Structure 1
Amino acid sequence: MFPRPIEQTRPLTQRLYTIALPIALILWLFPLLGVAMTSLRPASDLAQGNYFGMPSYIAFENYISVFRDSDLGSYMLNSLKVTIPTVIGAVALSCMTGFALGIYKFRSNLVVFFLFVAGNFIPFQILMVPVRDLTLTLGMYNSWTGLAMFHIAFQTGFCTLFMRNFIKALPFELIEAARVEGVSEIQIFWHIVLPLMKPAIAALSVLVFTFIWNDFFWATVLTTTKETQPITAGLSSLNGQWVAAWHLVSAGSILAALPPVLMFFLMQKHFIAGLTLGAVK
């Protein structure tokens, strides 16, 4: 049912695996390495058609120019304004909805749970026009508040699925023992269930942070100006009308990828614990 560990396979298979693994890794990292090299390539090399050769010199000033000659700092700040409230809002709501759907047994439990999950199966392109019209009606179009509110609403379904399944795996005897002692439901949630959810909260926070920070579609649909656009939409402004400043775009892309990477490494221990909790007894 499960793949055999590579150590238990034949020697020929192990040798082929040893050869294929670094080749696959290089192919997977090749686009990222290309972007990194372009970010350190001077504009004169690109003008001369030197796209893949060794750069004439290492242009570290590209990383300074992308801040000095563009609004990259403002775009990154806008991304933080959207991402952080979304992570807090979606995770907080999913903790409560996951607790309700995972602990309480009522007639429409599965129906409500299905409604949360069903939203994740709707192609987001279908929602483009109605969501844009809704933000215009509410006066939230072209604002980071409207973008954050939409992401909170859209991500809560996935987060509820994650949290409900996590809470469902907790020992129900803890809840019953607390109820016998006369503990209120709010105290059960706050003092018993929530502390046990810390690994799941950490893992979910990393996932949602990455999803929202890297979002490009809704950033371009719901925002239009540099005062509100996140980094993913703002990178396109680094291209001129006639000439594409690929060295600046590449430098901006590397800088834009750093926050999710740092977030993952800072939360790596809790992230892995949250994903693997319950895998073994």
Structure 2
Amino acid sequence: MTADLRAASADRASDRPAREPTRAERPRRRGRFGVPLFLAAVSLAFLAPLLLAVYASLRPYEETAEHGYFSWPEHMSFDYYRQAYTESGMGKYFTNTLLIAVPAVLLTLFLASFVAFAVSRVRIRGGMLLLMLFTAGNLLPPQVLVTPLYALFLKIPLPWWMSDSLTLYDSLWALVLVNVGFQIGFCVFVLSNFMRTLPKEILEAAIVDGAGVWTQFWRITLPLCRPALAALATLEFTWIYNDFLWALIFISNPDKLPITSSLNNLRGQFFTDYNLLAAGSVLVALPTVLVFLLLQRHFIAGLTLGSGKG
């Protein structure tokens, strides 16, 4: 009898018409599509200049000069990329950039992690004041120190095997040091805030087991900071790689300039092929895109740290 009643009630429930969504539910469903469309539009707006540069670099200049950059292509090739690489001497400038960016990034993260550990975990006296000084250094415009640094680098001697000019001026060491000096404050600020979120019980257990300060820093804290270090490495490499101000001031030998200066070799005295310049710009930007793709997982993890609990 009970089974028959249940079957009858189930049949009546299936015969009922489906409930229409209320007025409060309809805008919520439409909003599910509005946010992705808005994000896609914003992403396309940011990618539009890059896509236009790639599109222009694949077309001959005569075609775009006649029909415009937004016309349908008739001929597309990679000849401009080969021409841009050979005419600009990009290989030599790319080597110079790696000799500047890689040591600067590694030295910045290494020194910043030391200071951040001392400020956030060791609790040295005056640590908060030290953190404030490093943070305040980011607020100082780099252009203010151009003249003092120029005069200082001319007076700092270096041996012949480190600099052809026998001074810090006109050497890659000058670019490494100035980038480390201006980027270390931001890294100290980020790493110190991240290290404060690490559980104190981990270091307390290590201290009980007899771990010294170096072991606490090198074998316990740094492995836990891997997402933050990867995110900072991606940002720092991009910023130092794209820098041209310091190279323009502290380098006089054209053979020591970074890759950002190679684009100037593609500009003619009386005529500039902007499609060739676009191909050179895409080639210059490829290393930073590659670094981001390699560290993408750690970079996103570093950006989302602290966004949730548990």
Question: Counterpart of 1:163?
Answer: 191
Q: Distance in 1 between matches of 2:137 and 2:36?
A: 42
Aligned 1:151-190 pairs, distance under 5 A: 151-190=179-218
Report which of the two structures shows the higher radius of gyration computed on alpha carbons: 2
Counterparts of 1:263 and 1:175 in 2: how far apart (Å)? 32
User: What SS class does the counterpart of residue 308 from structure 2 fall into?
Assistant: coil
2:241 maps to 1:199: no
Secondary structure of the equivalent of 1:121?
coil
Kindly report the root-mean-square deviation, in angstroms, between the aligned alpha carbons of the 2 structures. Answer: 2.2
What is the identity, as a one-letter code, of the residue corresponding to 1:92? F
1:120 aligned residue: 138
16 and 198 in structure 1: CA distance in 2 versus 1, 3 angstrom threshold: closer
Instruction: Say whether 1:243 aligns with 2:271.
Output: yes
Q: Which residue of 2 aligns with 1:262?
A: 290
Contact 2:175-2:250 within 8 A present in 1 as well: yes
Distance in 2 (alpha carbons) for counterparts of 1:71 and 1:91? 31
How far residue 258 of structure 1 moved from its aligned partner, in angstroms, is 0.9
Per the alignment, residue 63 of structure 1 pairs with 81
Which segment drifts farther, 86-95 or 187-196?
Answer: 187-196
Q: Which runs of 5+ in 1 are unaligned?
A: 1-6
Aligned to 1:91: 109
In the TM superposition, 1:10-25 aligns within 5 A as 10-11=28-29, 13-14=31-32, 16-17=34-35, 20-25=38-43
Summarize deviations over 1:118-170 as a string: whole Å, max 9, x none. 11001122122222222222222232221011111111111111111111111
CA contact (8 A) 1:40 1:59 kept: yes
1:26-69 alpha-carbon deviations (Å, 9 max, x no partner): 33222112211221121333555744433441131111111222
Q: What secondary structure does 1:127 align onto?
A: helix
CA distance in 2, matches of 1:18, 1:192: 40
Match of 1:134 among 124, 131, 152: 152
SS in 1 for 2:143: coil
C-alpha distance in structure 2 between counterparts of 1:227 and 1:27, whole Å: 37
* Cα offset, 1:253, TM superposition: 0.7
Unaligned runs of at least 5 residues, structure 2: 1-24, 157-166
**Alignment equivalent of 2:91, drawn from 69, 73, 80:** 73
Q: Which deviates the most, 43-52 or 246-255?
A: 43-52
TM-score (ref. length: structure 2): 0.81
Q: Percent identity?
A: 39
Give the alignment's TM-score, normalised by structure 1: 0.89
In the alignment, is the contact (CA less than 8 A) between 2:97 and 2:258 conserved in 1?
yes
Residue 224 and residue 233 in structure 1: after superposition, are their counterparts in 2 closer, same or farther (change >3 A)?
farther
Q: Any conservation in 2 of the 1:75–1:226 contact (CA below 8 Å)?
A: no
Correspondence 1:26 to 2:54: no
